[in-house]
Amino acid sequence: MQFDIRRFDIYRKVPKDLTQPTYIGACISVSSMALIAFLFTSELIAFLSPEIESVLYVDDPGEQEQIPVFLDISLPELHCDVLGIDIQDEMGRHEVGNFENMKKLKLGPDGRGCRLEASFKINKVSGNFHVSTHARSQQAGKNVNFKHQLHNLIFGESILSNISKHYGLKDTSFTPLNGLDHTKGTFSGKETFEYHLKIVPTVYSHGQGTNSELHGYQFTALKKIFETNAHGMRIMPAIWFKYQLTPITVKYALRAKPFYHFLTTVCAIVGGTFTVAGIIDSCLFTAHEVFKKIEMGKLS
């Protein structure tokens, strides 16, 4: 007896002259193909779009002992000669006055105001930095007005505010104080402005290895304004940025889906849709045949 491999065929073919097309079957078939096309397109788009994976872990201060800070602020009522930045933290650091990476631009025709740009680094511990009248060259008098406009305050790498868009994050998580304007209100000149910052270390990974990681810092800010000479307080007004770092780091990474996952999903879409459509078609066809027999009185 000759061996016939066709006996292993589990997809037996039915001759076309033994099949019966119906309007219901045609509608179900067209609907199934449209559904398969929609699901396939959606899955293809999802496969080509990398997933965002977020991980939380305890931060190691030794990896990056200091955090770069960039501050850009305008003070329309204070001369550049009297302005400086003070830095203090829990490790005993206390620096007062001007820094090498500091620029001062006079504002207005009379040079009364000042725009201050400064780049410096802070230790990865709680502390503060504040804009004050402790400049080395000159001290201000008693009447100082610290109304201001905050153009930019950012911790870490500035490029992260643009990269965050690809991870579905808002830019404001890195620059929540940018554009804040305290120049249009009525101030007596005795106000101190405090910003309480909660800083969260953030890592973006766009490849393998530490060289493919970018380190930035998201932060939230709470604002407080009070008069320094009220309730017996005798301190000079200033603009304080008091910060605390969380010990937890958030890491974001783009992960591409494996091809076998896409292939499995496509098979499930095609097979599942045809199976369900076949069940629906069979039920409707059977119900139609039973209804016809009832009308003809042949149902026993």
Pair 219, 155: CB distance under 8 Å: yes
What average pLDDT score do residues 65-92 get? 91
Lookup: tokens for 59: 């931060």
Pair 156, 131: CB distance under 8 Å: no
How high is the pLDDT of residue 250? 86
pLDDT confidence tier of residue 113, bands split at 50, 70 and 90: very high
Give the distance from CA 267 to its chain's centroid: 34
What average pLDDT score do residues 204-221 get? 76
Domain boundaries, the chain: 54-255
> How far does the chain reach from its first CA to its final CA, in angstroms?
48
pLDDT confidence tier of residue 141, bands split at 50, 70 and 90: low
pLDDT confidence tier of residue 189, bands split at 50, 70 and 90: confident
What average pLDDT score do residues 261-275 get? 90
How high is the pLDDT of residue 227? 82
Separation of alpha carbons 114 and 256, rounded Å: 49
**Residue 207: pLDDT over 70:** no
How high is the pLDDT of residue 118? 93
pLDDT confidence tier of residue 233, bands split at 50, 70 and 90: low
How high is the pLDDT of residue 105? 94
How buried is 216 (Cβ within 10 angstroms: 0-12 exposed, 13-18 middle, 19+ buried)?
A: buried
